[in-house]
Amino acid sequence: MRRWVGAGVDVMSLRWGLLGCARICRRGLIPGIRASESGTLAALASRSGDQAKAWAAEFGIPKAYASYEELLADPEIDAVYIPLPNELHKPWSEKAADAGKHVLCEKPLALDADEARAMAEHCRSRGVLLMEAFMWRHQPRTHAVRKLVDDGAIGELRQVRATFSFPIDPGDWRLDPKRGGGPMWDVGCYGVNAARLFAKGEPTRVEAVGRLAPNGVDLTVAAVLQFPGDVLATVDCSFEQPFQCVYELVGSRGVLTVPDGFLPPVEGPGATLRTMAAPSDVAASDDRTESLTFPAVDQYAAMVDAFDRSVAAGALEAPAEDGVAQMRVLDAVLRGVKAR
Protein backbone atom coordinates (compact mmCIF):
# COMPACT_ATOMS: atom_id res chain seq x y z
CA MET A 1 0.00 0.00 0.00
CA ARG A 2 1.42 3.36 -0.97
CA ARG A 3 0.25 6.93 -0.70
CA TRP A 4 0.18 9.31 -3.64
CA VAL A 5 -1.35 12.63 -4.55
CA GLY A 6 -3.71 12.75 -7.52
CA ALA A 7 -5.46 15.93 -8.64
CA GLY A 8 -4.49 17.51 -5.34
CA VAL A 9 -6.15 14.74 -3.29
CA ASP A 10 -4.27 12.46 -0.94
CA VAL A 11 -5.07 8.90 -2.05
CA MET A 12 -4.15 5.46 -0.79
CA SER A 13 -3.21 3.08 -3.58
CA LEU A 14 -4.75 -0.20 -2.45
CA ARG A 15 -3.89 -3.71 -3.56
CA TRP A 16 -7.20 -5.51 -3.88
CA GLY A 17 -8.22 -9.14 -3.44
CA LEU A 18 -11.55 -10.66 -4.46
CA LEU A 19 -13.14 -13.31 -2.24
CA GLY A 20 -14.99 -15.35 -4.84
CA CYS A 21 -15.83 -15.54 -8.52
CA ALA A 22 -19.35 -14.11 -8.43
CA ARG A 23 -21.01 -12.65 -11.52
CA ILE A 24 -20.70 -9.16 -10.10
CA CYS A 25 -16.90 -9.53 -10.10
CA ARG A 26 -16.84 -10.15 -13.84
CA ARG A 27 -19.47 -7.53 -14.59
CA GLY A 28 -18.48 -4.84 -12.12
CA LEU A 29 -15.51 -5.04 -9.80
CA ILE A 30 -12.82 -6.48 -12.08
CA PRO A 31 -13.31 -3.83 -14.80
CA GLY A 32 -13.98 -1.26 -12.08
CA ILE A 33 -10.71 -1.82 -10.25
CA ARG A 34 -8.87 -1.81 -13.56
CA ALA A 35 -10.49 1.47 -14.58
CA SER A 36 -9.88 3.10 -11.20
CA GLU A 37 -7.17 5.69 -10.67
CA SER A 38 -5.77 4.18 -7.51
CA GLY A 39 -6.67 0.51 -7.12
CA THR A 40 -4.69 -2.54 -8.23
CA LEU A 41 -6.26 -5.98 -8.61
CA ALA A 42 -3.63 -8.19 -7.00
CA ALA A 43 -5.33 -11.49 -6.15
CA LEU A 44 -8.46 -13.59 -6.43
CA ALA A 45 -9.65 -16.55 -4.37
CA SER A 46 -12.19 -19.27 -4.99
CA ARG A 47 -13.16 -22.46 -3.23
CA SER A 48 -12.25 -24.08 -6.54
CA GLY A 49 -8.54 -23.73 -7.22
CA ASP A 50 -9.11 -24.46 -10.89
CA GLN A 51 -11.68 -21.70 -11.20
CA ALA A 52 -9.40 -19.25 -9.43
CA LYS A 53 -6.55 -20.08 -11.82
CA ALA A 54 -8.83 -19.82 -14.86
CA TRP A 55 -10.12 -16.39 -13.84
CA ALA A 56 -6.63 -15.19 -12.97
CA ALA A 57 -5.42 -16.24 -16.41
CA GLU A 58 -8.42 -14.69 -18.16
CA PHE A 59 -8.13 -11.33 -16.41
CA GLY A 60 -4.39 -11.16 -15.86
CA ILE A 61 -4.63 -11.25 -12.06
CA PRO A 62 -1.19 -11.95 -10.53
CA LYS A 63 -2.25 -14.34 -7.74
CA ALA A 64 -4.89 -17.07 -7.53
CA TYR A 65 -5.77 -18.82 -4.28
CA ALA A 66 -7.76 -22.01 -3.69
CA SER A 67 -9.24 -20.70 -0.43
CA TYR A 68 -10.35 -17.39 1.02
CA GLU A 69 -8.10 -17.98 4.03
CA GLU A 70 -5.00 -18.08 1.82
CA LEU A 71 -5.84 -14.73 0.26
CA LEU A 72 -6.47 -13.13 3.65
CA ALA A 73 -3.07 -14.40 4.85
CA ASP A 74 -1.30 -12.59 2.00
CA PRO A 75 0.48 -9.56 3.51
CA GLU A 76 0.50 -7.83 0.13
CA ILE A 77 -3.30 -7.48 0.05
CA ASP A 78 -4.65 -4.26 1.57
CA ALA A 79 -8.38 -4.51 0.90
CA VAL A 80 -10.89 -7.17 -0.10
CA TYR A 81 -14.19 -7.12 -1.92
CA ILE A 82 -16.76 -9.63 -0.63
CA PRO A 83 -19.36 -10.65 -3.26
CA LEU A 84 -20.44 -13.82 -1.43
CA PRO A 85 -24.06 -14.83 -0.69
CA ASN A 86 -25.66 -12.70 1.99
CA GLU A 87 -25.32 -15.16 4.86
CA LEU A 88 -21.54 -15.18 4.38
CA HIS A 89 -21.02 -11.41 4.54
CA LYS A 90 -20.60 -11.21 8.30
CA PRO A 91 -18.18 -14.11 8.88
CA TRP A 92 -15.88 -13.22 6.01
CA SER A 93 -15.94 -9.49 6.70
CA GLU A 94 -14.87 -10.20 10.26
CA LYS A 95 -12.17 -12.64 9.17
CA ALA A 96 -10.88 -10.06 6.71
CA ALA A 97 -10.81 -7.44 9.46
CA ASP A 98 -8.92 -9.86 11.73
CA ALA A 99 -6.33 -10.14 8.94
CA GLY A 100 -6.03 -6.35 8.80
CA LYS A 101 -7.80 -5.95 5.45
CA HIS A 102 -10.16 -3.11 4.68
CA VAL A 103 -13.57 -4.43 3.56
CA LEU A 104 -15.84 -3.46 0.68
CA CYS A 105 -18.87 -5.72 1.12
CA GLU A 106 -21.62 -6.34 -1.39
CA LYS A 107 -25.14 -5.29 -0.46
CA PRO A 108 -27.09 -6.04 1.60
CA LEU A 109 -24.40 -5.70 4.23
CA ALA A 110 -25.91 -8.35 6.50
CA LEU A 111 -28.99 -10.43 7.27
CA ASP A 112 -30.32 -7.85 9.73
CA ALA A 113 -29.38 -4.68 11.56
CA ASP A 114 -27.89 -6.53 14.54
CA GLU A 115 -25.48 -8.34 12.25
CA ALA A 116 -24.60 -5.11 10.47
CA ARG A 117 -23.90 -3.35 13.77
CA ALA A 118 -21.68 -6.23 14.92
CA MET A 119 -19.76 -6.14 11.63
CA ALA A 120 -19.20 -2.40 11.86
CA GLU A 121 -18.03 -2.61 15.47
CA HIS A 122 -15.72 -5.54 14.69
CA CYS A 123 -14.07 -3.73 11.79
CA ARG A 124 -13.75 -0.56 13.84
CA SER A 125 -12.06 -2.50 16.64
CA ARG A 126 -9.52 -3.90 14.15
CA GLY A 127 -8.75 -0.48 12.69
CA VAL A 128 -10.08 -1.19 9.20
CA LEU A 129 -12.83 0.44 7.16
CA LEU A 130 -16.06 -1.30 6.22
CA MET A 131 -18.18 0.03 3.36
CA GLU A 132 -21.33 -1.35 1.76
CA ALA A 133 -20.91 -1.53 -2.02
CA PHE A 134 -23.59 0.88 -3.23
CA MET A 135 -21.68 1.85 -6.36
CA TRP A 136 -24.46 4.12 -7.67
CA ARG A 137 -23.79 6.65 -4.88
CA HIS A 138 -20.35 7.40 -6.33
CA GLN A 139 -21.38 7.94 -9.97
CA PRO A 140 -20.97 11.56 -11.17
CA ARG A 141 -24.64 11.56 -12.20
CA THR A 142 -25.68 10.96 -8.60
CA HIS A 143 -23.52 13.84 -7.38
CA ALA A 144 -24.94 16.12 -10.09
CA VAL A 145 -28.55 15.16 -9.37
CA ARG A 146 -28.04 15.81 -5.65
CA LYS A 147 -26.67 19.26 -6.46
CA LEU A 148 -29.65 20.03 -8.70
CA VAL A 149 -32.01 19.16 -5.84
CA ASP A 150 -29.95 21.13 -3.32
CA ASP A 151 -29.92 24.13 -5.68
CA GLY A 152 -33.72 24.12 -5.90
CA ALA A 153 -34.09 22.88 -9.47
CA ILE A 154 -37.36 21.11 -8.55
CA GLY A 155 -38.36 23.36 -5.68
CA GLU A 156 -38.74 21.70 -2.30
CA LEU A 157 -38.32 17.92 -2.38
CA ARG A 158 -41.67 16.26 -1.68
CA GLN A 159 -41.27 12.64 -2.76
CA VAL A 160 -38.76 10.02 -3.90
CA ARG A 161 -40.08 7.22 -6.12
CA ALA A 162 -37.93 4.17 -6.90
CA THR A 163 -38.61 0.96 -8.82
CA PHE A 164 -36.24 -1.95 -9.36
CA SER A 165 -37.39 -5.36 -10.55
CA PHE A 166 -36.56 -8.28 -12.82
CA PRO A 167 -37.74 -11.90 -13.20
CA ILE A 168 -35.56 -14.51 -11.50
CA ASP A 169 -34.92 -18.20 -12.14
CA PRO A 170 -36.93 -20.36 -9.68
CA GLY A 171 -33.76 -22.21 -8.63
CA ASP A 172 -31.76 -19.08 -7.81
CA TRP A 173 -30.31 -19.01 -4.26
CA ARG A 174 -31.76 -15.52 -3.87
CA LEU A 175 -35.16 -17.15 -3.32
CA ASP A 176 -33.93 -18.92 -0.16
CA PRO A 177 -35.02 -16.95 2.93
CA LYS A 178 -32.34 -18.58 5.09
CA ARG A 179 -29.67 -17.08 2.82
CA GLY A 180 -31.06 -13.58 2.88
CA GLY A 181 -33.11 -14.01 -0.27
CA GLY A 182 -35.84 -11.83 -1.71
CA PRO A 183 -35.92 -8.72 -3.92
CA MET A 184 -36.06 -6.29 -0.99
CA TRP A 185 -32.54 -7.11 0.08
CA ASP A 186 -31.29 -7.65 -3.47
CA VAL A 187 -32.71 -4.69 -5.41
CA GLY A 188 -35.30 -2.93 -3.25
CA CYS A 189 -32.38 -1.90 -1.07
CA TYR A 190 -31.37 0.54 -3.83
CA GLY A 191 -34.66 2.38 -3.61
CA VAL A 192 -34.37 2.60 0.17
CA ASN A 193 -30.80 3.81 -0.26
CA ALA A 194 -31.91 6.51 -2.70
CA ALA A 195 -34.72 7.65 -0.42
CA ARG A 196 -32.35 8.00 2.53
CA LEU A 197 -29.72 9.80 0.45
CA PHE A 198 -32.03 12.40 -1.08
CA ALA A 199 -34.19 12.87 2.01
CA LYS A 200 -30.96 13.39 3.98
CA GLY A 201 -32.07 11.37 6.96
CA GLU A 202 -33.74 8.28 8.30
CA PRO A 203 -37.45 7.49 8.03
CA THR A 204 -39.67 8.10 11.03
CA ARG A 205 -42.38 5.80 9.72
CA VAL A 206 -42.30 2.72 7.48
CA GLU A 207 -45.31 0.93 5.97
CA ALA A 208 -45.00 -2.03 3.60
CA VAL A 209 -47.01 -4.76 1.89
CA GLY A 210 -45.87 -7.59 -0.30
CA ARG A 211 -46.42 -10.96 -1.92
CA LEU A 212 -44.62 -13.90 -0.33
CA ALA A 213 -43.61 -17.27 -1.75
CA PRO A 214 -44.69 -20.45 0.09
CA ASN A 215 -41.28 -20.60 1.79
CA GLY A 216 -41.80 -17.11 3.22
CA VAL A 217 -39.40 -15.18 1.01
CA ASP A 218 -40.68 -11.91 -0.44
CA LEU A 219 -41.38 -11.88 -4.18
CA THR A 220 -42.85 -8.40 -4.65
CA VAL A 221 -42.74 -5.54 -2.14
CA ALA A 222 -44.16 -2.01 -2.04
CA ALA A 223 -43.12 0.31 0.78
CA VAL A 224 -43.85 3.88 1.87
CA LEU A 225 -41.29 5.73 3.97
CA GLN A 226 -41.94 9.03 5.74
CA PHE A 227 -38.95 11.26 6.52
CA PRO A 228 -38.55 14.39 8.66
CA GLY A 229 -40.00 17.41 6.89
CA ASP A 230 -42.79 15.18 5.52
CA VAL A 231 -40.70 14.00 2.59
CA LEU A 232 -42.26 10.74 1.39
CA ALA A 233 -40.70 7.86 -0.51
CA THR A 234 -42.38 5.01 -2.37
CA VAL A 235 -40.17 2.02 -3.08
CA ASP A 236 -41.17 -1.11 -4.94
CA CYS A 237 -39.23 -4.16 -6.10
CA SER A 238 -39.93 -7.59 -7.49
CA PHE A 239 -38.45 -10.89 -8.67
CA GLU A 240 -41.58 -11.64 -10.73
CA GLN A 241 -41.94 -8.58 -12.97
CA PRO A 242 -40.21 -7.33 -16.13
CA PHE A 243 -36.96 -5.39 -15.75
CA GLN A 244 -37.39 -1.86 -14.40
CA CYS A 245 -34.75 0.36 -12.83
CA VAL A 246 -35.65 4.01 -12.35
CA TYR A 247 -35.98 6.64 -9.67
CA GLU A 248 -37.76 9.99 -9.61
CA LEU A 249 -37.36 13.01 -7.39
CA VAL A 250 -40.58 15.02 -7.17
CA GLY A 251 -40.49 18.58 -5.89
CA SER A 252 -42.90 21.46 -5.46
CA ARG A 253 -41.94 22.89 -8.87
CA GLY A 254 -40.56 20.01 -10.90
CA VAL A 255 -39.55 16.38 -11.39
CA LEU A 256 -36.18 14.75 -12.01
CA THR A 257 -36.50 11.35 -13.68
CA VAL A 258 -33.39 9.17 -13.65
CA PRO A 259 -33.63 6.15 -16.01
CA ASP A 260 -31.47 3.09 -15.36
CA GLY A 261 -31.18 4.75 -11.99
CA PHE A 262 -28.83 2.31 -10.30
CA LEU A 263 -27.30 0.70 -13.40
CA PRO A 264 -26.45 3.61 -15.69
CA PRO A 265 -24.72 3.02 -19.02
CA VAL A 266 -21.04 3.89 -18.84
CA GLU A 267 -21.42 6.03 -21.96
CA GLY A 268 -23.76 8.98 -21.60
CA PRO A 269 -25.91 8.41 -18.49
CA GLY A 270 -28.81 10.83 -18.51
CA ALA A 271 -31.83 12.23 -16.72
CA THR A 272 -34.85 14.37 -17.50
CA LEU A 273 -35.73 17.56 -15.67
CA ARG A 274 -39.33 18.80 -16.01
CA THR A 275 -40.17 22.10 -14.36
CA MET A 276 -43.38 24.08 -14.18
CA ALA A 277 -43.32 27.20 -16.31
CA ALA A 278 -45.64 29.07 -13.90
CA PRO A 279 -47.91 28.40 -10.90
CA SER A 280 -49.60 25.03 -10.72
CA ASP A 281 -52.84 26.13 -12.42
CA VAL A 282 -51.02 26.40 -15.77
CA ALA A 283 -51.52 23.45 -18.13
CA ALA A 284 -48.87 20.75 -18.09
CA SER A 285 -48.16 21.51 -21.75
CA ASP A 286 -46.51 24.73 -20.61
CA ASP A 287 -43.96 22.86 -18.51
CA ARG A 288 -40.35 22.93 -19.64
CA THR A 289 -38.55 19.62 -20.18
CA GLU A 290 -34.77 19.40 -20.36
CA SER A 291 -32.64 16.34 -21.18
CA LEU A 292 -29.50 16.14 -19.08
CA THR A 293 -26.33 14.17 -19.77
CA PHE A 294 -23.48 13.40 -17.41
CA PRO A 295 -19.83 12.27 -17.62
CA ALA A 296 -19.14 8.78 -18.89
CA VAL A 297 -17.64 7.17 -15.80
CA ASP A 298 -17.60 3.54 -14.64
CA GLN A 299 -19.46 3.73 -11.31
CA TYR A 300 -17.57 0.74 -9.94
CA ALA A 301 -14.29 2.53 -10.65
CA ALA A 302 -15.67 5.63 -8.95
CA MET A 303 -16.59 3.52 -5.91
CA VAL A 304 -13.12 1.96 -5.76
CA ASP A 305 -11.45 5.38 -5.90
CA ALA A 306 -13.81 6.71 -3.21
CA PHE A 307 -12.94 3.75 -0.99
CA ASP A 308 -9.23 4.30 -1.56
CA ARG A 309 -9.60 7.96 -0.59
CA SER A 310 -11.55 6.90 2.50
CA VAL A 311 -8.72 4.61 3.60
CA ALA A 312 -6.27 7.47 3.15
CA ALA A 313 -8.49 9.74 5.25
CA GLY A 314 -9.25 7.10 7.87
CA ALA A 315 -13.02 7.54 7.51
CA LEU A 316 -15.68 6.90 4.89
CA GLU A 317 -15.98 9.67 2.31
CA ALA A 318 -19.53 10.98 1.82
CA PRO A 319 -21.82 9.77 0.38
CA ALA A 320 -20.46 6.32 1.28
CA GLU A 321 -22.75 3.89 3.09
CA ASP A 322 -21.61 1.98 6.18
CA GLY A 323 -24.74 -0.16 6.03
CA VAL A 324 -26.00 -0.11 9.62
CA ALA A 325 -28.74 2.52 9.24
CA GLN A 326 -29.63 1.03 5.85
CA MET A 327 -30.22 -2.40 7.39
CA ARG A 328 -32.47 -0.93 10.09
CA VAL A 329 -34.81 0.38 7.40
CA LEU A 330 -34.77 -2.89 5.43
CA ASP A 331 -35.65 -4.75 8.63
CA ALA A 332 -38.60 -2.41 9.18
CA VAL A 333 -39.86 -2.92 5.63
CA LEU A 334 -39.74 -6.70 5.85
CA ARG A 335 -41.37 -6.70 9.29
CA GLY A 336 -44.24 -4.79 7.74
CA VAL A 337 -44.53 -7.21 4.83
CA LYS A 338 -44.50 -10.33 7.00
CA ALA A 339 -46.87 -8.95 9.61
CA ARG A 340 -49.75 -8.83 7.14
Domains of the chain (ranges; CATH) run 2-136+302-318 (3.40.50.720), 140-296 (3.30.360.10)
Return the pLDDT at 7. Answer: 41
DSSP 332: H
> Distance between the two ends of the chain, CA-based, in angstroms?
51
Residue 189 has pLDDT above 80, yes or no: yes
Question: What per-residue confidence (pLDDT) applies to 8?
Answer: 44
| Amino acid present at 227 | F
% of the chain exceeding 70 in pLDDT: 94
Catalytic residues: 107
The DSSP element (H or E) to which 307 belongs, if any, is helix 299-313
Q: To the nearest whole number, what is the mean pLDDT of the chain? A: 93
The 10s digit of each residue's pLDDT in 259-276 is 999 999 888 899 999 998
Degrees, nearest 5: CA angle 310-316-320: 115
Which DSSP state fits 126? T
pLDDT higher than threshold 60 for residue 45? yes
Give me the pLDDT at residue 13, please: 86
| 312: pLDDT strictly greater than 80 | yes
**Nearest-angstrom CA–CA distance, 161 and 250:** 8
pLDDT at 137 over 90: yes
Going from the C-alpha of 93 to that of each of 115, 135, 183, 231, 296, the distances in angstroms are: 11, 18, 23, 34, 32
Residue 276: predicted pLDDT: 87
Residue 283 has pLDDT above 70, yes or no: no
Q: What confidence score (pLDDT) does residue 278 get?
A: 64
